[in-house]
Structure 1
Amino acid sequence: MADFIKLAVLFCLFCPNLFAQRIQPDSLEQNINSEFNYKKLIIPTALISYGFIGLESDGIKRFNLQMRSEMDALRDRGTYIDDYSQYVPMVSVYALNAMGVKGKHNFKDRTIALGTAYVIMGATVQGLKRLTAIQRPDGTAYNAFPSGHTATAFMAAEFLNQEFGEVSVWYGISGYLVAACTGFLRMYNNRHWFTDVVTGAGIGILSTKLAYQITPFVKKMVFGDNDFFKGIKIDFHGGETFGVVLSASF
């Protein structure tokens, strides 16, 4: 059980530090012109590096086995919560906006940023799964590394942090707690090793951070001067009515 506590502490240690670097409340176009702060990449890069070192490190492999034993001792029966919790932070961004909480960017910009992050994350995760072919702890397949569920959850958590972290730090913290729980459940369900989860977390965070840097280029490349999404507005009034207003220009 002591090792289980160490795991929980390790998951929580890096979470507060992730909120230290945020994009200033300007438009995405203005953000790309500012000097990129590479310090914001330290934590996700460290997480990813740990996972890659773990592919060859006997010590980390032993720790993986030890963590699986801890999970086996805790497990009563499996759960499907992690199949849904991975999406909670990203859905929360649009739900908060619908309830009248204003985020940093408009619907178009944040949706393009999310889509860009998803492409980066998905391509990286699937590529590594095929390249490494690590067997899952339950022995069902050879695509354990890294954890896609965890990568999605942490990508979404950083998305929530980017959009609402300056409104209240608790939005970002809550997103990362949900993501950490998703990673924990992937191990609890015997679907992933500890290194799979840690690497997935790093990939997810890094994907969103990179997405917010390159989104202005993606926006101009895909849409050019066409403000097709400019007129999308989500309104929530008095707890009783909900509406989506759409207008498009061609």
Structure 2
Amino acid sequence: MKIIVTGSLGNISKPLAINLINAGHYVTIISSSADKAAEIEALGGTPAIGSVSDVDFLTKTFTGADALYAMIPNDLSSDNFRKHIGGVGLKYAEAIKASGIKKVVLLSSLGAHIDGGTGPISGVYDVEQAFNQLDGVDIRILRPAFFYYNFFHNIELIKHAGIIGANYPGNKPHVMVHPNDIAEVAAYELQQSFTGTTVRYIASDERTLDEVASVLGKAIGKPDLKWVEFTDEQSLQGMLQAGLPQEFSRS
């Protein structure tokens, strides 16, 4: 099969591409950075360098392919995350329609069934709605849970305050996922026959955040590490001090 992978060599797209290449498929990897071309070729893939906001580029790249893995790259410089994410989704949908590609696996998110009130995930809701308007295209929507690597944002807090936390309680179950598990599911789905539009949720583990703090603490030599629930305002100020954009932090 000829398969298009978006997302350059990111945390999901790279292991996904390797999986597909090792399975004998012809894989084209879209990246906005020409610096990635050599690494893509070294993996056995074909680089397609361009912008996911360029419909002509996307259409040309998608044309003749058997399947597409579609994800929306992050843009922390955006002052309107929903508009950015939804806008790229519309570009994808336009290119899918124009190219005639018939099988799509879309990376979405837990909570993407909700219209508004979910921060950047609201943009993924808009992407799903745009894809739902495509006629004659079979779509598998992947909705993964909270990414494990988001805990990296707590490194400075752990270093300087000896705690880990956010604005949600430590005693409630928290569903988490590893990018490699998402890549494995995406690779599987791209190689399957399916019809219509369906949703698949992806999770690797479910723990309370108190458990998470305990596991992480023991792993880094801080066995007494505790999860602390912050107020919304405390959480906001922490994210702003960490350098995250205000629009992202407030969402």
TM-score, with structure 1 as normaliser: 0.29
- Give the structure, 1 or 2, with the largest relative contact order (CA under 8 Å, sep 6 or more): 1
TM-score, with structure 2 as normaliser: 0.28
More helix by share: 1
